[in-house]
Amino acid sequence: MSATLTIVPAELSPKGIARLTNFRLIPRVDTYPAVVSFAQMVIGKLVLLVLFGLGLAYASTDWLILILCLALMTFLPAQRRILVTISTLLFAFVVPWKFFKQPFYSVVLIALVLTLAALLFWCATLWPRSWYGRRPVFVFLSSFSLLIVIVSYIPQGTKAYQLVWDLTIRLSVYIWFICYSLLDRSSPSRDPFSLQLGSYRPFWGSTNTPFAKGAAYLRRIEARNPEQLAVTQLKGLKLLAWSILLSRFLEGFNYCAAAFLHVPQFSEALRLSANRTPLPWYHCWASILVGFFGSIISVSVFGHRFIACCRMAGFNALRNTYRPLSSRTIAEFFNRYYFYFKELLVDVFFYPFFLRYFKKQPKLRLVGAIFAAAGFGNAFYHFVRDLGFVQKFGLRGALASYQVYLFYCFLLAAAISISQLRHRKPAPSGFIRGQLWPSFLVLLFFCLLNVFGSTDRNYPLTVYFRFIGHLFNLSL
């Protein structure tokens, strides 16, 4: 027995595993005292900015203006928050000017949306006890839904049609940012609207999901002294480097999958399956595996870049994607894969439900809140994000074609509910039972779930079920 124990390779021993998990491709320069001290000096700040600028020049098109904004925040930390607002307005109105089809028209629309946001915020703070002031997010999202219904019934060809649609679509881009401002209304240290504005599609980049949440989060994670700023900026530089490495890896991964392994894209495999000429089952599996891992890496790449710039501006925001492959539960993967989207769902849908309803029935309370967030909130977010489909198919058509993603949301919410209802306990000991096997099952689940995660609305749900059948060599 002892003999067998002595021949266990060093790599598989707990020490070996610990060494492997602690290995860093990019050194932890933010923990080196000499580097942190250097980054606080003027020359150190300049070196950091130059290195960051070189990384941005590789990864982003508007790198020069971005690095100038970051330089201002680095050297004027006391004015950081107002500089964030100015930079954000610059990136909302001036930087994309050349990309707007009708620049003046687009600028007026954005200005109208931001004015509406200011009015909503001020009303919520001025009349906190009013019907609107008590539930501003609910009232705002309900009103926006009503607006979509009304707009979808405006006849095409009328004068108002295009204007109202353009305004609604522009507003849809900002709704989640406005929600975060409204959630901040009752905070004792609430920021004025001028600072809230800095978090509305901030200059460091964002999708429709607010990256680094709202102004409330920014003021809590802001660097308070030169040392904190140096550490935060070094973390930002590291994250940008990691984002660039991942983007190179993604290019190589996609090239290898397509050129050497001849793995078809998921959309192609699905199209053939829909036409009843499916690929062999192993090609179908290869297509979903490559698609799934590709999506994890691409989400990491853009998320890391946004957060790297946010950190360089002096805000120690958490990473958007953090070791998703090590998740041991479904809820954990959802948290690690796209952190700020999950946070949005939790803040806007989960907590309002959880804190109000079914307090006497704990299981129903939890499941209801999960369905409100991962089910309804998730579906609502993507429906609003793709309002073009409502314009194209009409409201009923858009809802009917949304069946696949609705099913995805239902499955996701059900899976997270089951994951959360199981009693939480420490993981079993041992690398295989405690880490490898649960992580494998979680990834397998999300890999299969991802089949239904398509939002392009080309096929009905039955086509996706048929594809799942083909994965198991079944002809449906």
Rounded CA separation 213/320 (Å) = 11
- Work out which of 350, 371, 381, 467 binds another protein, going by CB under 8 A: 350
For residues 253, 255, 261, 264, the Cα torsion angle rounded to the nearest 10 degrees is: 100
Helix and strand counts by DSSP (H, E) for the chain: 25, 0
Site for another protein in 189-228 (CB under 8 A): 216-217, 220-221
Amino acid identity, position 189: S
Interaction between residue 318 and another protein (CB under 8 A): yes
Interaction between residue 359 and another protein (CB under 8 A): yes
Rounded CA separation 367/417 (Å) = 5
Strand partners, 294: none
Interaction between residue 248 and another protein (CB under 8 A): no
Interaction between residue 362 and another protein (CB under 8 A): yes
CA 425 to chain centroid: 28
54-83 footprint of another protein as x/- string (CB under 8 A): ------------------------------
Interaction between residue 354 and another protein (CB under 8 A): yes
Rounded CA separation 277/441 (Å) = 30
Nearer to another protein, 64 or 355 (CB): 355
Nearer to another protein, 15 or 392 (CB): 15
* Stretch binding another protein (CB under 8 A), from 18-26, 252-260, 347-355, 450-458: 347-355
Interaction between residue 426 and another protein (CB under 8 A): yes
Interaction between residue 15 and another protein (CB under 8 A): no
- Work out which of 186, 458, 462, 473 binds another protein, going by CB under 8 A: 186
Interaction between residue 427 and another protein (CB under 8 A): yes
Interaction between residue 356 and another protein (CB under 8 A): yes
Nearer to another protein, 280 or 362 (CB): 362
Structure-block tokens of residue 388? 């073009």
Site for another protein in 103-162 (CB under 8 A): none
Nearest alpha carbon to residue 67 among 92, 41, 49: 49
Question: How large is the C-alpha radius of gyration of the chain?
Answer: 24
3-state secondary structure of 17: helix
* Stretch binding another protein (CB under 8 A), from 68-76, 352-360, 403-411, 444-452: 352-360
Angle at 268 between CA 267 and CA 272, to 5 degrees: 120
Positive/negative CA dihedral, 248, 252, 255, 257: negative
3-state secondary structure of 222: strand
Count of residues near another protein by CB under 8 A: 27
Query: E strands within 20-164?
Result: none
170 CB neighbour count, 10 Å cutoff? 16
Nearer to another protein, 248 or 356 (CB): 356
- Work out which of 420, 450, 454, 455 binds another protein, going by CB under 8 A: 420
* Stretch binding another protein (CB under 8 A), from 111-119, 229-237, 349-357, 389-397: 349-357
* Stretch binding another protein (CB under 8 A), from 9-17, 262-270, 424-432, 460-468: 424-432
Q: Answer for the pair 4, 418: CB distance below 8 angstroms, yes or no.
A: no
Give the shortest CB-373-to-another protein separation in angstroms: 10
- Work out which of 355, 364, 432, 474 binds another protein, going by CB under 8 A: 355
- Buried b / exposed e across 102-127, counting CB within 10 Å, b at 16+? eeeebbebbeebbeebbebbebbbee
Rounded CA separation 308/302 (Å) = 10
- Work out which of 138, 322, 393, 437 binds another protein, going by CB under 8 A: 322
Interaction between residue 366 and another protein (CB under 8 A): yes
Structure-block tokens of residue 317? 């925001």
| Max CA distance (Å), the chain | 86
Give the shortest CB-318-to-another protein separation in angstroms: 5
DSSP string, 155-180: PTTSHHHHHHHHHHHHHHHHHHHHHH
- Work out which of 13, 79, 145, 187 binds another protein, going by CB under 8 A: 187
Please give the residue ranges that form the binding site for another protein (CB under 8 A).
186-187, 216-217, 220-221, 318, 322, 331-332, 335, 342-343, 346, 350-351, 354-356, 359, 362, 366, 420, 424-427
